[in-house]
Amino acid sequence: MRFGIRTTAKGGYKNLTFQSPGTFKPDGTTNNTCLRIDGVDALFGEQPFHDDDGHALNPDPNPGRWVEREAALGTDQGTGRARIGKKSIWLFDGPKIRVTQIVEVVPGEQSGRLDTCLVRYQIDNRDDDSHSVGLRFLLDTYIGSNDGVPFLIPVPGARQQLCDTKMDFDGADKVPDYVQALERENLDDPGTIARLQLKLGGGIETPTRMTLGAWPNPELAHIDPRCRQEKTMWEVPVLPIKSTTPPDSAATIYWEPRELRPHETREVGFAYGLGNVASSSGGALGLTAGGSFEPSGEFTVTALVSRPQSGENATLTLPENGGFKLLDGDETQAVPPLSRDAQSRNSAVTWRIQAPAEGGRFRLDVKLSTGAAQSLNITIKKSRVF
């Protein structure tokens, strides 16, 4: 029950996850989901392989079985429309841990278009004893036609917000709201924009760790023997994206093990799909935002500045009397200069903002000291997709 994601578009599809050679679509075989149950690792939906004589080649200390596969999700209670997605349930036979995977195409919170894949795992302890249970998801990212682009990490005040090597965010308070990547660094023509949303709210747990780096290609096993492609277990080595030629990027999301009492449930998840950058004429400045757009929710706004000049500044203007509050990052900030070995032509400046207590549609404005300006419209609303 692995799954791949691609766009629908005039003129052909674009991939958001890797497409295996010889296949006609990204089938998700290079992703995987790993459970850690009482310190023992097992892959979701993975059954032991057998040789021709019936001997298990990878005996599983906690084997499992399918309870349900590819079940329809029914209709949306609010709209009455059929939900787009599938549900599959895997039951481990040792400690009775039931894992329900729900994969669903949903409208983007700001776009309103069906451009986002919401991925959830409901973990139920069906046993009479308590068990420690965690989940880890390995996402083999692919941005349109480019597998080695820099990822935007929206962190206010950070001098380096574009990752083209590796990063490790260890701790729920360190995990960003989202990460985003452009197929092309041209803000006038960025191509496919992929966004991984990490903080969803609505009772879905925030990840306790997220890493960006190289997909664990077995070619890298001489560096770290844990690199076993889609058979990689809990700990995915954090190696530079450009460790292979061509570069091959991946994001790994962890929800660390915690005790589940008998018949207790935890729900984890993320969303992956298309992002957006509002760009000024000439591509000198682009704006993007992500986070919680609920009343009083917190979100980040990031300005992408193309080929910044020495001493250049960016100034954010919030709506007058709109009830917005700047939480982190001065209104006017210096645009970090590009390093000599920078793989991106863009630099990033980020602000963290609290939304007003009342909903509505608002405009945020950013202006550069060099004269370029761009606005970004956002909608604050009570009902969230997630």
Tell me the pLDDT tens digit for each residue of 291-307. Answer: 999 999 999 999 999 99
The answer to whether 144 touches 190, Cβ cutoff 8 Å, is: no
- Ranges of each domain in the chain: 15-274, 278-380
The CATH number of domain 278-380 is 2.60.40.10: yes
> String of b and e for 184-221 (b: at least 16 CB within 10 Å)?
bbebeebebbbbbbbbbeeebbbbbbbbbbbbbbeebe
Mean pLDDT of 213-223: 96
On the question of a common fold for 15-274 and 278-380, the answer reads no
Phi-psi region of 112 (alpha: psi -120 to 50; beta: other; left: phi over 0): left
Please state the pTM of the whole predicted model: 0.93
Poorest-pLDDT segment among 20-24, 307-311, 343-347, 353-357? 20-24
Count of H-run helices and E-run strands, the chain: 0, 26
Tell me how crowded residue 110 is: count the other CB atoms within 10 A of its CB.
Answer: 20
Report which DSSP code applies to 318: P
HSE, side-chain direction, 13 A CA sphere, residue 157: 5
Tell me the pLDDT tens digit for each residue of 21-77. Answer: 777 778 899 999 999 999 999 999 987 655 566 565 555 566 799 999 999 999 988
The answer to whether 43 touches 221, Cβ cutoff 8 Å, is: no
- State the architecture of 15-274 in CATH terms: Distorted Sandwich (2.70)
